[in-house]
Structure 1
Amino acid sequence: MHDLHEMTHPYTPGAQAGPDSLLLVWDAPNLDMGLGAILGGRPTAAYRPRFDAIGRWLIARAEETGTHIGERVEPEATVFTNIAAQGADVVRPWVEALRNVGFAVFAKPKSDEDSDVDKDMLAHITRRRDEGVLRGLVVASADGQNFMPMIESLVGDGVPVTVIGFHEHASWAVSNPDITFVDLEDIPGVFREPLPRINLDQLPEEGAWLQPFRPLSALLNSSRSHTQS
């Protein structure tokens, strides 16, 4: 089995194409929002995903993919994240821990809505596809609006696509027969404690609170963005 430190390709313009790969693109802002909605607040250490467990899962999937197509397939993983102003010191230990496990990190300053990493994730996937090395894609996100056109294109080309996330927030992937959906909590060892999830089909008699996915103030930023455009 491969070492976790062999998981990354350099995300550098002009770099030579690497080996055939199963590419994981991790949408950190989106998954953080989804996890916060499930927990009703910021996650504690017990509820932060363990990226070493995600890495081992990806390695196993890459080996399965290679066996299926009769070629050696390497796992490649990149976490895409925004860094808020004055937030570098808080995020730095997390970024260094990711890199130590074997994940590449693409970090971008968060200044406004247009500084999201959505386009950067799609650009990275496109680059690997254009290099001819993409043998499978794993998208860790619930953002179907951003990823679905790319996924449909890859599926049409015969590239298998897996979406990992939370089933509460990714019905577009769960219900799509062309996509393999894996709930993040079903990956062995990702969470130290079971998530306190609420199933609308099995609500407790006393009822349950479902927290908003984003603050109402986000509507003001969205309104300003539309006005400026």
Structure 2
Amino acid sequence: MSARRPGRRATSPAGPPRPSAAHVPPPPGTTAADAGQTVPVLDISEDAPGLAEEPARAVDDGRERPPLDLLIWDAPNIDMTLSTVIGARPTAASRPRFDAIAAWFVDGAGDPARPDASDVEACVFANIPPQPGSLQRWVEALRGFGYSVFARPKSQPDDDIDQDMLDHIAVRQHSHRLRRLVVFSGDGRNFADPLEDLVRQGVQVVVVAFSEVAGYAIGSDLLEFIDIEDVPGAFTEPLDRVRLDALPPDGAWLRPTRSLRDFVAGFTARRTG
């Protein structure tokens, strides 16, 4: 059992949210597919240590905190679980589109002309391998869509960004009055308890992930859950998956994601090794 990662002072990786600006076009040389869709987050490991046991709570210091709708995107987790549910390496057509997701999120914040309108902020958290490849172009495209990006080097297998995400949520809890928190992650081990605690404090928390890997949110009495494929326009075409929560009346075949012979060969090697 891995030791818990020591708690850190909450910092603000994305900086303070700023008023919505006019649309910024993707950087020169970036195609629409590159800009709108996710790309692989390489060298991913989900064997992250535990997080701080006590989630930060908002402090009532008498300040008037503006309302905020906050989106947190766990890039390593979403990329890994996408590969899991489709049983293959994602292609451009099977990656979620950040432009459509941004539109859905901002629309959910309501009319910005209302006197009590929320600020909106969307943040993508990513591990960056030593050789980032096309990730530089991906990061710049995200920034052009209005997302803040927190990028942490991934030099060791246990380098993770889970604590950074929780830190940033805590910072926003102090600087703003969190009205709605939308978390794109299927990582229930690290997020279930802190997110449910936020709901108890009056925050609307929505988990967006793939239903195959988000049992912690689906089974929660406090968290709201949305399958990523149900976000309008999130994918250019249906994913190659069969959802158990949306089976056809006559049933459906779920094809294997691995060759039977390949599995048995690996199983036999482990047993005799």
TM-score (norm 2): 0.66
1:54 aligns with 2:101: yes
Structure 1 pair 84/152, CA: closer, same or farther in 2 (3 Å)? same
Contact residue 50 and residue 190 of structure 1 kept, 8 A: yes
**1:14-33 CA deviation, whole Å, 9 max, x = no partner?**
xxx98421111000000001
Other-structure match for 1:24: 71
Deviation at 1:147, TM superposition (A): 0.8
2:123 corresponds to 1:78: yes
Take 1:189 and 1:175, find their aligned partners in 2: how far apart are those partners? 26
Which residue in the other structure is 2:230 paired with? 186
Deviation at 1:65, TM superposition (A): 11
Q: Label 1:64 to 1:141 Cα distance change in 2 as closer, same or farther (>3 A).
A: farther
Partner in structure 2 of residue 36 of structure 1:
83
The whole-number CA distance in structure 2 between the counterparts of 1:20 and 1:199 is: 35
1:95 equivalent in structure 2: 139
Amino acid at match of 1:24: L
* Other-structure match for 2:215: 171
- CA–CA distance in 1 between the matches of 2:87 and 2:111? 36
Extract structure 1 runs of 4+ deviating beyond 4 A.
Answer: 2-6, 64-67
Distance 2:257 2:112 in 1: 38
Question: Are positions 1:111 and 2:158 aligned together?
Answer: no
How many residue pairs align between the two structures?
195
C-alpha distance in 1 between matches for 2:145 and 2:66: 20
How far apart are the structure 1 equivalents of 2:145 and 2:119?
Answer: 15
Give 2:16's aligned residue.
none
Letter of the structure 1 residue corresponding to residue 151 of structure 2: A
Mapped contact 2:68–2:176 kept (Cα < 8 A): no
Pairing 1:122–2:166 present:
yes
What is the CA distance between 1:41 and its match in structure 2? Answer: 2.3
Structure having the larger proportion of residues in helix: 1
Given the superposition, is the C-alpha separation of residues 136 and 4 from structure 1 closer, same or farther in structure 2, using an over 3 Å criterion? farther
For 2:81 and 2:137, locate their aligned partners in 1 and report how far apart those are by CA, in whole Å.
Answer: 22
Q: Give the counterpart of 2:189 among 145, 149, 157.
A: 145
TM-score (norm 1): 0.77
Q: What amino acid does structure 1 have at the position aligned with 2:218?
A: V
Point out where structure 1 has 5 or more consecutive residues left out of the alignment.
7-16, 212-229
- Structure 2: gaps spanning 5 or more residues: 1-19, 25-63, 259-273
Structure 1 residues 64 and 33, CA gap change in structure 2 (3 angstroms): farther
Summarize deviations over 1:53-81 as a string: whole Å, max 9, x none. 100111111117997xx721022100000
The whole-number CA distance in structure 2 between the counterparts of 1:135 and 1:23 is: 8
Conservation of the 8 A alpha-carbon contact between 1:66 and 1:73: no
Q: Which residue of 2 aligns with 1:208?
A: 255
Write the letter of the residue equivalent to 2:191: F
What is the alpha-carbon distance in structure 2 between the residues aligned to residue 162 and residue 184 of structure 1? 11
Q: Which one has a bigger Cα radius of gyration?
A: 2
